[in-house]
A and B are shown apart, each in its own frame.
Chain A
């Protein structure tokens, strides 16, 4: 068979015309499409949107927002990795919408450039367990320039024996830098761990940026 002998052209199947030549009522079509636009506008409001930025301190970083709240920040990963992880967690594939994340990227860059002392950004930690949330909320209270230990966080959340779990919860911090897990170190004065891109080197850089390392050379890795 070749294209020239399709039944449609070879033998006009006029009997199909009542269906294939018919068109939906234009008003019904327009209404359907208008309703579709409305539904899509609604679904966009709940969509996850992301963007990326570059800064010498952390390299390429990715940020994701849903319902105007920051849900993820990551660096030292590939874009695909970041997106796959988001999708696995939120069951939703993110759209690339830099404009919707302007306040987030601006504040992050200001901070990294040493022009901003603290963040004023809405965040959401809905995907986490109650314990993880407690740890991260306690960490969020640590002011710039200060350092606390894993044990202190464990005590603060009323669970002094959970030092190791605190470390793990911080290791899974979905919004590093903004939730300053880099300000939490081990009780022996070593930096502990850092799961962000660049590892402990980045942790040290961030603390230096905040002036926390001044006079504390024993903290260096």
Chain B
């Protein structure tokens, strides 16, 4: 039996907390949201870890929890999202254009079905394999690939054409 120790869990935190934070930061409206979601993700992971049988997909398992936490957060926050965008777009300076683009891409990803939005970030930003994305999104690797593809197609219509 693979006995669950604090040290084993701490190693997970050490290894993955930064990339999980990056993922949540890309998906959620504000850095504060990302910080809250990071805490929630690892507190849930801490509670579930001793019962986890399959230790071959720990990274995907953490991204799965983070995805659930993030989308719960987004659902709860839907009412306030307009407010958040207002706030951020008041930032002035040379980086404003990039910042505005970031915000609009993030908002568009949030509008996609959860599996498509998550698949895009997990693949394109976090570099997970389709097998890992499948494990994180409770679907097959093929379905993970399809979700990524469909999400990208929708965004491409919105953004790639605007660019030209």
Spell out A's residues near B (CB within 8 Å).
1, 3, 6-8, 13, 15-16, 18-20, 22-25, 28-29, 31-33, 35-37, 39-40, 43-44, 47, 79-80, 83, 87, 92-97
Contact = CB atoms under 8 A, between A and B. Distances in A.
Contacts, number: 119
A97 B6 CA distance: 7
Nearest to A16: B124
Please give me the 3 A-B residue pairs with the lowest Cβ-Cβ distance, nearest first.
A93-B50, A96-B3, A18-B101
A47 B9 CA distance: 13
B159 A15 contact: yes
Contact of A43 (B21, B38, B43, B149): B43
Q: Which of B3, B21, B121 has the most CB of A within 10 A?
A: B3
Interface stretch (B60-68, B72-80, B102-110): B102-110
What band does the interface of chain B fall in when counting residues whose beta carbon is under 8 Å from A? Answer: 35 or more
Given A18-B105, A19-B109, A40-B43, 19 more contacts: A6-B148, A7-B149, A7-B156, A8-B123, A8-B124, A8-B152, A15-B155, A15-B160, A16-B120, A19-B101, A19-B106, A20-B125, A31-B35, A32-B39, A33-B21, A39-B39, A40-B10, A93-B50, A93-B51
Interface string B92-126: 00000010011001100100000000001101110
B31 A28 contact: yes
Most chain B beta-carbon neighbours within 10 Å: one of A6, A19, A22, A47 = A19
A29 B149 contact: no
A27 to B, nearest CB: 10
A36 B25 contact: no
Most chain-B CB neighbours within 10 Å: which of A1, A7, A35, A83? A7
A12 to B, nearest CB: 10
**Majority secondary structure, B binding face:** helix
A66 to B, nearest CB: 14
B26 A32 contact: no
Given A1-B149, A40-B13, A29 B22 contact: yes
Given A20-B26, A29-B22, A32-B35, A95 B4 contact: yes
A79 B149 CA distance: 46
Interface string B37-62: 01100110011111100000000000
Given A1-B149, A20-B124, A33-B18, A93 B48 contact: yes
A24 B3 contact: no
A216 to B, nearest CB: 41
A94 B46 CA distance: 10
Contacts of B43: 39-40, 43
A43 to B, nearest CB: 6
Contacts of A36: 13, 17, 38-39, 42
A94 B47 CA distance: 9
A33 B39 CA distance: 8
Contacts of B121: 20
Given A19-B26, A24-B22, A33-B17, A43 B46 contact: yes
B5 A95 contact: yes
Nearest to B105: A19
A15 B156 CA distance: 8
B1 A79 contact: yes
